[in-house]
Amino acid sequence: ENASKNDFIRSAIREDMKEGRFPPPVHTRFPPEPNGYLHIGHAKSICLNYGLADDFEGAVYNLRFDDTNPVKEEQEYVDSIMEDIRWLGFDWEDRLYFASDYFQQLYDWAVKLIRDGNAYVDSQDPETISKSRGTPTEPGVNSPYRDRSVEENLKLFEEMRQGKHPDGSSVLRAKIDMAHPNLNMRDPVMYRIKHARHHRTGDDWCIYPMYDWAHGQSDALENITHSLCTLEFENHRPLYNWFLEKIGVENPPRQIEFARLNLTYTVMSKRKLRQLVEDGHVESWDDPRMPTVSGMRRRGYTPEAIRKFAAEIGVTKTESMVDLALLEFFVREHLNKTAQRRMAVLDPVKMVITNYPEGKEEWLEADNNPEDEHAGTRSIPFSGELYIERDDFMEDPPKKFFRLAPGKEVRLKHAYFVTCDEVIKDASGNITELRCSYDPESRGGQSPDGRKVKGTLHWVSAAHALDAEVRLYDNLFLRENLNTLEEDEDSLDYLNPESLVTVQAKLEPSLGDAEAGSSFQFLRKGYFCADSKDHKRDHSGNSIVFNRTVQLKDSWAK
Ligand code: ATP
Ligand code: MG
Ligand code: MG
């Protein structure tokens, strides 16, 4: 999928390898923080980092959990991230790492920096430190503790580690330049005190490294050649390189930045996604409306479609907004080839075939997928009482309406021609029944006299139909671009109140065998996936639950 890509990252890597800047192989990593579930933006990064194996001989990739912040991280997230990466089709084999495994090494390197006069303990409070950093136009102010002796720094840092100082009372800072034009270089904090239990190291540590101090060092420890990250880290690169230089790494990894993925009609940050879950706007991280990998899986998106999408959008240096419709295109394209066809009526109205022999039923042959000659056929029951889609009938149709209307003839897919003779309504005028007659000669959908009908409808036999809950998902937000909100606006203002509409549908009976997570095309309605949590294979129809993955672009013979 990536084989023919020649983006700026691949070009840079090719150049580096050609010039022998790194001993082969190319070695990348995907470094998630286990503080939430992966979203489609992470999937882009995974496809990039792990997809390089297709372009560079012997290239390998690591999975590294960037678990340096004990307060926000949990095992649940570690587990979900691994499940999602595997589902996407990537395998890190035995190259699973945790930044927390490097805490001792990072500590030792920090001691080296102190010894070399490159780091100091600052006893100012966090607010003062933050204020004294200055602004892009104003230089920062040196801390009064900046010139502590190496001995004092070593002693204080040791005490910090031993838990002798409370949270927020001191930090370790790199000693660089408080007037540096890049604010990240103004004596950045390397360690803060946090008396908090870590999900892997327990109570071993009460000082934790900052992202900038952990990341490049972890890359170096794992012999990463190219550290690919999103653009917001571009102005951290000088610091990334400074730390590697000060600890004396040979062949330091090269950081290259690319634009993050933004998708229309959704938000894409773990903080915002967490808020949606915690405030109950969605059911969970894997709610099918979420742009998370697990949500997309539950919705019925396929890994193939996501990988093709990632390859298609490629990597760039400038941020842009990618149309959700592009992702849906790849989902539709893949499911069109792989999903079996079934009939399901989402908004049923009864059709009675008055000239069909009383009590008779017959089984008709239907192809499972016209796009796949190996998909075979199945039998579907036909009888004198059916359900069709309510909006496939109009009492008073406009000219171009080719579906059912009084006196009009249509084809029932895989079955017969029927003509509507009579409309039955209840006291308030709602249609309760369509009385029709069928042409027994038209079995299979052709009439021997060559008579043509324009409309072909899907249907299910009433007596055989399974009752099902079908969840019709739509965009979670009504606004296309949620990155351009005004100060006083909140993405929640644009939540789509109809992002989930649940209907009671009638399904053809073979869907009682559907396994949780399996996908089908419901003829003329779209692609649907048996819900992985709530769907139970059950012929009584009690807990059959399908999620709408994506609508069909054009419904045939409308
Ligand atoms: P978020 O901002 O959504 O919380 P993050 O960057 O804090 O994401 P991490 O777990 O640190 O989340 O991300 C792991 C990797 O995924 C990083 O290398 C990051 O650059 C990359 N990444 C995160 N979001 C996107 C995105 N929208 N597009 C591409 N890559 C992304
Ligand atoms: Mg991050
Ligand atoms: Mg973030």
> pLDDT, tens digit, for every residue of 467-525?
999 999 999 999 999 999 999 999 999 999 999 999 999 999 999 989 999 999 999 99
Q: Is the pLDDT of residue 539 over 80?
A: no
CA neighbours closer than 13 Å in the CB half-sphere of residue 264:
11
> pLDDT, tens digit, for every residue of 296-344?
999 999 999 999 999 999 999 999 899 999 999 999 999 999 999 999 9
The pLDDT, as a whole number, for residue 540 is 59
The pLDDT, as a whole number, for residue 53 is 87
The pLDDT, as a whole number, for residue 73 is 82
Query: Which amino acid is present at 476?
Result: L
* 270 known ligand binder: yes
Query: Which residue among 95, 200, 260, 558 is the active-site one?
Result: 260
Query: Which residue among 1, 33, 371, 480 is the active-site one?
Result: 33
Give the atom of ligand 1 at the shortest distance from the alpha carbon of 46: 16
Q: Is the pLDDT of residue 537 over 90?
A: no
Ligand nearest to the CA of 256: 1
CA 57 to the chain's CA centroid: 29
* 536 known ligand binder: no
Residue 279 contacts residue 269 (beta carbons within 8 Å): no
- CATH class of the domain whose range is 102-211: alpha beta
Consecutive H or E run containing 130: helix 126-131
ipTM value, please give it: 0.96
The pLDDT, as a whole number, for residue 1 is 46
Q: Is the beta carbon of 260 within 6 A of some atom in ligand 1? A: yes
The pLDDT, as a whole number, for residue 2 is 46
Query: Which amino acid is present at 315?
Result: V
Residue 27 contacts residue 62 (beta carbons within 8 Å): yes
Residues near 360 by Cβ (< 8 Å), separated by ≥ 6?
383, 384
Tell me which fold the domain 470-550 belongs to. Ribosomal Protein L25; Chain P (2.40.240)
Please tell me the residue having the least CA distance from ligand 1 atom 2.
Answer: 269
Q: Is the beta carbon of 298 within 6 A of some atom in ligand 1? A: no
For tokens 């959008």, the residue is 313
**From ligand 3's centre to the CA of 334, what distance in Å?**
31
Query: Which residue among 29, 64, 175, 270 is the active-site one?
Result: 270
* 236 known ligand binder: no
**Residue spans of beta strands (DSSP E) within 93-243:** 96-98, 119-122, 171-174, 189-193, 207-209, 226-230
Tell me which fold the domain 341-461 belongs to. Ribosomal Protein L25; Chain P (2.40.240)
Q: Is the beta carbon of 342 within 6 A of some atom in ligand 1? A: no
The pLDDT, as a whole number, for residue 88 is 98
Token pair for 470: 């079908």
Ligand nearest to the CA of 260: 1
**From ligand 1's centre to the CA of 398, what distance in Å?**
51
CA distance 296 to 288: 6
Q: What residue spans in the chain does CATH classification 2.40.240.10 cover?
A: 341-461, 470-550
Give the atom of ligand 1 at the shortest distance from the alpha carbon of 260: 28
Please tell me the residue having the least CA distance from ligand 1 atom 27.
Answer: 41
For tokens 């009908």, the residue is 453
CA distance 146 to 187: 9
CATH of 8-98+214-325 among 3.30.420.40, 3.40.1180.10, 3.40.50.620, 3.40.50.720: 3.40.50.620
**From ligand 2's centre to the CA of 222, what distance in Å?**
19
Active site includes 246?
Answer: no
Consecutive H or E run containing 345: strand 344-345
What SS3 state is found at 171?
A: strand
Active site includes 33?
Answer: yes
